[in-house]
C-alpha cells in the first residue's frame, strides 16, 4: 500500500521537558492505523505535529512521499490532513452548518454568505447520508450529545477536504454501542481509500479495528506491528514496558455498616419540560461501593454536583449519617464533614491548573489548620506534605512541587487529586468517572485507592459510564436513566441485564 503520512525522527519538547524523542509513524492509504500508548507517551503531541499545531524541533514530515513543513493547521489542511481532537473544537452556540463553514474551503470567486451557507448545508446532508449520520445542519451544537458533536467534528474535517483523518481518543467519551458505530464508520472511510490514524489507549479497539498499530512509550516509537498477529499480553507489554500485576480480585470486604448517605427525592428544577434530576433515591452504607452505571448525560454530572454542593437549586434531601440534611450546607462545610470528591471535570472542578502542585495539594487540608493557623500559613510544611504525598501516590512528572499543576499529564493530575482527597480518611467518597482518560496502570491505581477507602469504612459512590469499571468495583450497582435510578442489582450482577436497563428506559 502507498504511504499516506509519514513522520520520521520527530523531536519536540515543551518548556525543557522532552515530550517526543525520535518518534516515527507511517500510515498507508486505505488502512486504519492505531497509535497506542499510555497517558503521556506522546501520542497527542505527535499527532498535533502531523496536524500542524506544533512545529517539531527535528524530524521530517512526509505526505504522499513528499516532504512537507507546516506553518499551522491551515497548511496541514491543505495537505488534506484533518484531526478530530479529544476536546472538540466546536463553537457551542453556533449551528452545525456555521461550525463547518468556519473551516470549509471557500468557493472560487465571490459567494454571498447566504449562498455559501446553503452550499455547506447541502454538502453536510450529502456527507452525513453517505456515512449514515443523522445530523441536522441547522441544529445548535450545544443541543447535541457528545457522540453527535463528534460526528460533527468528523464531518467538519472531511468537508474541509481531509483524506488523512486523525482521531484522538475518539472512543473515550462514547458508550460501547456508540463506539462500535464510530469505529465501523472509520473502517468504511478507510475502505474507500482514506488513511485513518486512531489514537487510543484501549487495547480492545486496537485488536478489533486496526489494520496496523504503532506503539509509543515515553516519547519514542517502540514498534509497529499487525495487531491481529500479536497476542494482547504482548501488546500490553510493549505499551507498558513491564507487566502490571492484576488487582487482587474479590478483596476481603468489610461488612457494610449503617446507612451513611441517603438521597431522597432529589430533583432539579424543571427546564424545557424536563428535570435533569427527577427524583433520585439511593442509600449508601459505610464500607461499600455503590456503582451508578448509565449512559452519559442522564443526570450523572448534576447528581455529583448536588452532592458536592455546587448547585443551589436542587430540591429533596441528601442526608448524611450523624448530620442530617446536607442540601443547604455549603460546599466547604461538607468537606469538613468528611466528603471527598473526585469530579469528572479535572481542570474545571478538581485542580487549579495555574497554581502549583503544592498549593493544589495543600488546599484540601489547610482548613483544618494542618499548615498553621489562619494568620500564618506555613508554606514549607505544605510543600513538604505535598512532596510526601506525591511520592506516596506515585505522581510522575513532578520536577518540583512549585511547578504548575497544568503541566501534569491526565493520569498524574488525577493521582494528585487522589492524594489530596485521600490525604485524610474520608467518610464519604464521591468518584465520578475517576479513571476516564487514564491508561491501564493509572486506572488500576485509582481503583485500588477506592477499594482501600471502602475497606477503611468509607462509603463510596462511584458514578461511571464505563460498565467494566462499575462491575469491577461496585458491591451494588444502580442504573441511572433520565435523572432517575431505574434498577438496582446486587453483585455478582448480570452484565446483560444492566445493559438492558441502561437502554430500556431511554
Q: Which residues bind another protein (CB under 8 A)?
A: 8-9, 11, 14-15, 19, 44-45, 48, 53-60, 67-69, 71-73, 75, 87, 308-310, 330-332, 334-336, 341, 343, 347-355, 359, 362-364, 366-367, 371-377, 403-410, 413
CB of 71 vs another protein, minimal distance in Å: 5
How far apart CA 300 and CA 344 sit, in angstroms, is 10
The residue among 53, 54, 52, 49 whose CA lies nearest residue 23 is 49
Cα–chain-centroid distance for residue 499? 21
**Which one, 92 or 336, has the nearer CB to another protein?**
336
How far apart CA 393 and CA 141 sit, in angstroms, is 39
**Which one, 121 or 359, has the nearer CB to another protein?**
359
Alpha carbon distances (Å) from 477 to 246, 298, 417, 489? 22, 16, 25, 5
**Which one, 13 or 177, has the nearer CB to another protein?**
13
Instruction: Reduce the DSSP state of residue 115 to 3 states and report it.
Output: helix
CB of 481 vs another protein, minimal distance in Å: 26
Instruction: Tell me if 275 sits within 8 A of 303, measured CB to CB.
Output: no
**Which one, 55 or 503, has the nearer CB to another protein?**
55
CB of 359 vs another protein, minimal distance in Å: 7
How far apart CA 168 and CA 85 sit, in angstroms, is 5
**Which one, 48 or 268, has the nearer CB to another protein?**
48
CB of 285 vs another protein, minimal distance in Å: 25
Sheet holding 66-68, edge to edge: 17-28, 3-14, 58-63, 66-68
How far apart CA 256 and CA 197 sit, in angstroms, is 47
How far apart CA 123 and CA 117 sit, in angstroms, is 10
CB of 135 vs another protein, minimal distance in Å: 26
CB of 77 vs another protein, minimal distance in Å: 13
Residue partners of 348: CB distance under 8 A and separation at least 6: none
**Which one, 75 or 278, has the nearer CB to another protein?**
75
How far apart CA 34 and CA 219 sit, in angstroms, is 16
Instruction: Reduce the DSSP state of residue 121 to 3 states and report it.
Output: helix
**Which one, 19 or 467, has the nearer CB to another protein?**
19
How far apart CA 105 and CA 360 sit, in angstroms, is 44
CB of 93 vs another protein, minimal distance in Å: 18
Helix 113-131 to helix 176-191 angle (10° resolution) is: 100
CB of 57 vs another protein, minimal distance in Å: 6
**Which one, 251 or 425, has the nearer CB to another protein?**
425
The residue among 35, 37, 46, 43 whose CA lies nearest residue 8 is 46
Instruction: Tell me if 302 sits within 8 A of 319, measured CB to CB.
Output: no
CB of 55 vs another protein, minimal distance in Å: 4
**Which one, 347 or 503, has the nearer CB to another protein?**
347
Amino acid at each position: 500500500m502507498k504511504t499516506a503520512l509519514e513522520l520520521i525522527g520527530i523531536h519536540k519538547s515543551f518548556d525543557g521537558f522532552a515530550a517526543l524523542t525520535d518518534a516515527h509513524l507511517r500510515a498507508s492509504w486505505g488502512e486504519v492505523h492505531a497509535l497506542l500508548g499510555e497517558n503521556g507517551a506522546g501520542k497527542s503531541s505527535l499527532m498535533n505535529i502531523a496536524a500542524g499545531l506544533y512545529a517539531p524541533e527535528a524530524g521530517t514530515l512526509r505526505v504522499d512521499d513528499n516532504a512537507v513543513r507546516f506553518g499551522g493547521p491551515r497548511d496541514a489542511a491543505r495537505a488534506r490532513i484533518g484531526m478530530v481532537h479529544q476536546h472538540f473544537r466546536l463553537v457551542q452556540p453556533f449551528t452545525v452548518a456555521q461550525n463547518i463553514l468556519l473551516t470549509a474551503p471557500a468557493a472560487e470567486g465571490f459567494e454571498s454568505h447566504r449562498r455559501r451557507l446553503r452550499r455547506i448545508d447541502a454538502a453536510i446532508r450529502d456527507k452525513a447520508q453517505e456515512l449514515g449520520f443523522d445530523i441536522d445542519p441547522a441544529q445548535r451544537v450545544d443541543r447535541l450529545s457528545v457522540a453527535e458533536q463528534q460526528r460533527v467534528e468528523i464531518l467538519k474535517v472531511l468537508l474541509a477536504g481531509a483524506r488523512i483523518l486523525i482521531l484522538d481518543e475518539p472512543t473515550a467519551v462514547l458508550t460501547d454501542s456508540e463506539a462500535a458505530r464510530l469505529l465501523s464508520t472509520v473502517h468504511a472511510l478507510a475502505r474507500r481509500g482514506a488513511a485513518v490514524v486512531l489514537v487510543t489507549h484501549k487495547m480492545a479497539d486496537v485488536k478489533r479495528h486496526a489494520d496496523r498499530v504503532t506503539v509509543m512509550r515515553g516519547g519514542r516509537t517502540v514498534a509497529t506491528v499487525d495487531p491481529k498477529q500479536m497476542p494482547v499480553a504482548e501488546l500490553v507489554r510493549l505499551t507498558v514496558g513491564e507487566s502490571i500485576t492484576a488487582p487482587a480480585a474479590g478483596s476481603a470486604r468489610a461488612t457494610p455498616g449503617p446507612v451513611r448517605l441517603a438521597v431522597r427525592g432529589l430533583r432539579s428544577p424543571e427546564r424545557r419540560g424536563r428535570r435533569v434530576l427527577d427524583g433520585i433515591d439511593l442509600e449508601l452504607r459505610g464500607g461499600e461501593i455503590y456503582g451508578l452505571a448509565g449512559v452519559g448525560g442522564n443526570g450523572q454530572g448534576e447528581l455529583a454536583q448536588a452532592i458536592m454542593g455546587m448547585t443551589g437549586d436542587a430540591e429533596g434531601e441528601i442526608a448524611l449519617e450523624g448530620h442530617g440534611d446536607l442540601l443547604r450546607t455549603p460546599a466547604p462545610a461538607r468537606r469538613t464533614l468528611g466528603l471527598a470528591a473526585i469530579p469528572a471535570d479535572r481542570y474545571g472542578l478538581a485542580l487549579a491548573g495555574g497554581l502549583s502542585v503544592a498549593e493544589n495539594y495543600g488546599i484540601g487540608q489547610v482548613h483544618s489548620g494542618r499548615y498553621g493557623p489562619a494568620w500564618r500559613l506555613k508554606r514549607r510544611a505544605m510543600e513538604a506534605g505535598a512532596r510526601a504525598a506525591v511520592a506516596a501516590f506515585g505522581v510522575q512528572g513532578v520536577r518540583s512541587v512549585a511547578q504548575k499543576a497544568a503541566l501534569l499529564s491526565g493520569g498524574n493530575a488525577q493521582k494528585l487529586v487522589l492524594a489530596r482527597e485521600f490525604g485524610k480518611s474520608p467518610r464519604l467518597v464521591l468518584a465520578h468517572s475517576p479513571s476516564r482518560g487514564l491508561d491501564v496502570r493509572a486506572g488500576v491505581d485509582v481503583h485500588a485507592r477506592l477499594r482501600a477507602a471502602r475497606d477503611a469504612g468509607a462509603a463510596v459512590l462511584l458514578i461511571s459510564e464505563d460498565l467494566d469499571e462499575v462491575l469491577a468495583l461496585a458491591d451494588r450497582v444502580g442504573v441511572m436513566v433520565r435523572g432517575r435510578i431505574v434498577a438496582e442489582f446486587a453483585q455478582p450482577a448480570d452484565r446483560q441485564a444492566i445493559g438492558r436497563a441502561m437502554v430500556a428506559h431511554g
